[in-house]
Amino acid sequence: MLNTCKRQWARARHILMTGVVVALHSTPAWAQNLPTAPEPDGGFEDGNWIDLMRGYIFEGAIVLGTLIAVASFLWVSWTALTKFNEARQGKAEWGEVGLLGVVGAVVLLVLSFFVNQAISIME
């Protein structure tokens, strides 16, 4: 029984390694039709890697700020739906739902303002 397991394990390892070797040797064939990566916005000269990386970091920061804004929007929406459900069941008052809607809207407006200010400062 043990010898059978060892043989099966050795065969599986051999097949896996063969697959890895074939995949690594055929990678250039896979990559020949891929498009080139787009360069970030902002002027930079050829060979100036610092400005190129600065451009990529800037675009990454914009994406991160947008993801934070989306997460906050989802959080406010989830909280509003939860409070609305509680008000329908009689566990919360309808005034709390209205107050949460107003405060949530203000939070989202302030967050949008901060994201726009941060983008304009970074440019």
pLDDT at 26: 65
pLDDT at 39: 76
- Determine if the pTM surpasses 0.75: no
Q: Are residues 119 and 68 in the same domain?
A: yes
Query: What's the number of domains the chain is made of?
Result: 2
Q: Is the pLDDT of residue 28 over 70?
A: no
- Reading the block at residue 24, the tokens are 């690594």
Q: Give residue 5's domain range.
A: 1-29
Q: Are residues 81 and 114 in the same domain?
A: yes
Looking at every residue in the chain, the average pLDDT score rounds to 83
pLDDT at 15: 86
Q: How far apart are the first and last CA of the chain?
A: 68
Q: Average pLDDT of 10-32?
A: 76
Whether 2 is covered by a domain: the verdict is yes
Q: Average pLDDT of 13-34?
A: 74
Whether 35 is covered by a domain: the verdict is no
Q: Average pLDDT of 27-56?
A: 75
Whether 59 is covered by a domain: the verdict is yes
Residues in the chain: 123
Q: Average pLDDT of 44-63?
A: 82
Q: Are residues 1 and 61 in the same domain?
A: no
- Residue 78: what are its φ and ψ, rounded to 5°? -65, -45
Residue type (1 letter), 113:
F
Contact 77, 108 (CB under 8 A): no
Q: Average pLDDT of 10-15?
A: 84
- pLDDT tens for residues 78-101? 999 999 999 999 999 999 999 999
